[in-house]
Amino acid sequence: MDLDASMPKELKQPGIIKELQILFMNLACGIKLLVFRRNIIGEVTVSHDQFILLLFFYGITAFVASYVMTPNPVFGLFGLGYIGVELLGVLLVGFVLTKLCDHQDHLLRFLTVTYSILPFLYLVSIAVLPFLPDAYFETGYMVYALWILCVCFYVVLQLLDWQKIKTVMIVMLWIFASYPLANVPLSFWHEDFDYSEALTAYNDDLSYVNQEEVYYNQYQLLNNALNSIEPGVEGVTDLFFIGFGADSSQDVFMKEINNVQQVMSHNFGTTGRSVALINNLKTIDITPLASSTNLRIALNHLGSKINPEEDIVLLYLTSHGSYDHELAVNMWPLELNDIGPEVLSAYLDDAGIKWRIILVSACYSGGFIETLKNETSLILTATAADSASFGCSSENEFTYFGEALFKNVEGRSYQFIDGFNQAIERIKQREKSENLTPSNSQLSVGNLMREKLQMLEHDMARYAPERFGDFN
């Protein structure tokens, strides 16, 4: 007979309370280890029960914190996958550690100590780092990474009886085991998107979409849009524009591209040197689709019109984004391919476009920067790689990102880098005033591009009458 199972509930209760008390004592030890207090590992109570309780506490912490930090949260099981992969990595590191120190009981000790620390590291990453001022954002993340590295070294060093070489080996293994999760956020929630808004708009119109006709119309629509593109003028830094509004489910992307194209013509002198690609039922018969193929064709055409060493192409992409850093390309019921940074980079390279301004208005768009950045490019994204953006509603004329960049833009004296930094600050202040999770817009400017933009700004002012016509 199982005596524990037959024990009255009243007699069991004190044991549960005791385990919870030990749990909080272990968590207190975790905090002390994070501030490098000495002789703390010996105070950690090691048991299978404590390991399971600490693992459960870590999961609950992530569950609650990610809920609080996610706008319009919708539950998903992907957080369990993250914790599972992370646990496998910790087990691997702990197994190797026990082999090096020849103490089998150190595996359970290592697991217990690790999960007494992880909940607090997670809270710092999700509730502190995203809210750092822009001036300290990168520094904050570097300090955070260095802090984690030092804590890992400090813990392992004590478990291995201060054997430094073995400790370095274990810490390097720990970094390697953690790498698959480096750019993946731990969250049990994702932001809700109400597709009923899109479906309501489509109900009356979908019967009129002739897919075959739409595909065959692209040739003529692209020709009409691209044949009017004027070539660059020798000796002048010309600015060319491509707008890419890729999601038909909400009118804001169509409106944003139209508005940005108008601003680019009126205030940046791109009249005769711009093209818009849009996915929307309202424009499906008059404007080329924002498809991957059409974007490639349009970029190739602009590449044949520009002076490669002189002219700059500004590409504005707006749509929904995904965790795996792909731009959603939707024109339901058509089946179109999403676009990732690798594809976009290849298109620009193949088109021979050297000088690039790439603006991406989408959730998680910061994931585009690493692939696209170089010395002759400026990349500005609405968010960091793990953040959401705002303003995606059919009633809006712009997303928050597009509005900050292009609404009420002053004319011919525009300073690109200063203007973009001011837009980032406006977004930040707006999100703060509306109590939204910071999107953390990202700006990357190549050193050669900084000089090139000064030439563009100079030529925009110098040739204003010819470039801007009667626009004010």
Domains and CATH numbers, the chain: 16-191 (no CATH), 213-468 (3.40.50.1460)
Using CA atoms, how far residue 142 sits from 119, 125, 129, in Å, is: 19, 12, 11
Block mean pLDDT (10 aa), the chain, length 472: 44 73 94 92 92 95 90 83 92 92 84 95 89 77 92 93 91 89 81 54 55 82 90 89 91 93 88 92 90 94 93 94 87 87 95 95 92 94 90 85 85 78 92 86 94 88 60 39
Using CA atoms, how far residue 97 sits from 101, 105, 249, 341, 377, in Å, is: 6, 11, 52, 39, 45
Whether omega before 333 lies within 30 degrees of 0, making that bond cis, reads yes
pLDDT in the model for residue 410: 65
Burial of residue 147 (CB within 10 Å: 0-12, 13-18, 19+) is middle
DSSP sequence for 303-370: HHHS-TTT-EEEEEEES-B-TT--B--BBTTB----B-HHHHHHHHHHTT--EEEEEEESTTGGGGHH
Q: How many CB atoms lie within 10 A of CB 62?
A: 24
Measured distance CA(401)–CA(157) in Å, rounded:
47
**Residue 189 in contact with residue 73, Cβ under 8 Å?**
yes
Q: How many CB atoms lie within 10 A of CB 237?
A: 23
Which residue is it, tokens 């009667």?
A: 470
pLDDT in the model for residue 178: 87
Measured distance CA(361)–CA(382) in Å, rounded:
5
Give the closest residue to 327 by CA, choosing from 391, 385, 247: 247
pLDDT in the model for residue 72: 77
Q: Which helix (H) or strand (E) holds 274?
A: strand 274-278
Which string of b and e fits 176-203 if b means at least 16 CB within 10 Å?
ebbeeeeebbbbbbbbeeeeeebeebbe
Using CA atoms, how far residue 408 sits from 274, 350, 405, 419, in Å, is: 20, 35, 9, 12
Measured distance CA(297)–CA(218) in Å, rounded:
11
**Residue 255 in contact with residue 396, Cβ under 8 Å?**
yes
Give the closest residue to 193 by CA, choosing from 392, 420, 471, 417: 392
First to last CA, the chain: 90
pLDDT in the model for residue 106: 85
